[in-house]
Amino acid sequence: MKSCPSRDYKLSKLKLIFSQIGLLLFFIASWEIGTRIGLLDEFFFSKPTSIAKLFIQYLKANQIFKHVFISLYETALGIIIGSAAGIFIATILWSSEKLSKLLEPFMVILNALPKTALAPIMIIWAGTGVSGIVVVAISILIIVTIISTYNYFSNIDSEKIKMMQSFRANKLQTFTKLIFPSNLVNIISIIKVNIGLAWVGVIVGEFLVSRAGIGYLIMYGGQVFRLDLVMMGVVILSILAYIMYEIVNMIEKILLKKRGKGI
């Protein structure tokens, strides 16, 4: 009797999830044991139980929510504004071959610039509040978004474009009926990458000017040599980034299902 493919897929998926959980638990247990037996220096590495105790303290004092909300807000703004602006600019470049060739060397140069090193200048230009931090996040992801999206738009099968032209479709119709729908999943993949890039920008910005946020907690912990606070900030950051990634991943799966059904 043959096994059902969907059942086999679900079983393999469950095995993968349990394997990932097991690996995570093994890492945490090794970290805890390593610090307790002196293999790892607790001053430099802290330990999971100390991080958990500190998190509970911040939770009871209602302090952690403020930091999480501020960082999430800044990151979400960076992703939304940066991704939308990047896709819009890529669309303009796709619509004008002359403009794309004119701006190509400038895009290469901008992509090569060390944005984190230029973060202090950007914050001076945009302001020392949320706006400055969001601008840093946008600066890190927007050029990558433009270049990636433009490449996706340009790599559509030329035969499909010729078919659209044979029906006398103009540039706008070709874009809305072929180019953009065909690349919707690719755009979601770009947004996945942008989640990590936006977090980098936000954390760098919070290091420089913020008095709240995950980046501020990490920076403050380092300044006062509280490695448990630093590691707590890193753990929270990892969890938030993963949750955001999974939300976008779910959207991608929904789009792929609809594409598979021909919707």
Question: pLDDT per residue over 93-122, tens digit each?
Answer: 998 888 988 988 888 888 888 887 888 888
Find all residues with CB under 8 Å of 90, minimum gap 6, and list them. Answer: 145, 146, 147, 149, 150, 153
Average pLDDT, the chain: 86
Segment 177-200 mean pLDDT: 90
8 A C-beta contact, residue 77 and residue 134 = yes
The burial of 34, by beta-carbon neighbours within 10 Å (0-12 exposed, 13-18 middle, 19 or more buried), is given as: middle
pLDDT at 4 over 70: no
Reference 211, options 98, 67, 63; nearest CA is 67
Least confident stretch, 7-11, 56-60, 230-234: 7-11
Q: Model's pTM, two decimal places?
A: 0.84
81, 166 Cβ separation under 8 angstroms: no
Q: Where are the domains of the chain?
A: 1-40, 50-261
Q: Percent of the chain beyond pLDDT 70?
A: 96
194 has a pLDDT exceeding 90? yes
Query: First vs last Cα of the chain: how many Å apart?
Result: 34
pLDDT for residue 262 is more than 60? no
Q: What is the pLDDT of residue 263?
A: 46
CATH number of 50-261: 1.10.3720.10
Per the CB < 8 A criterion, the answer to whether 227 and 43 are in contact is yes
Does the structure show a pLDDT above 80 at 1? no
213: left (phi over 0), alpha (psi -120 to 50) or beta: left
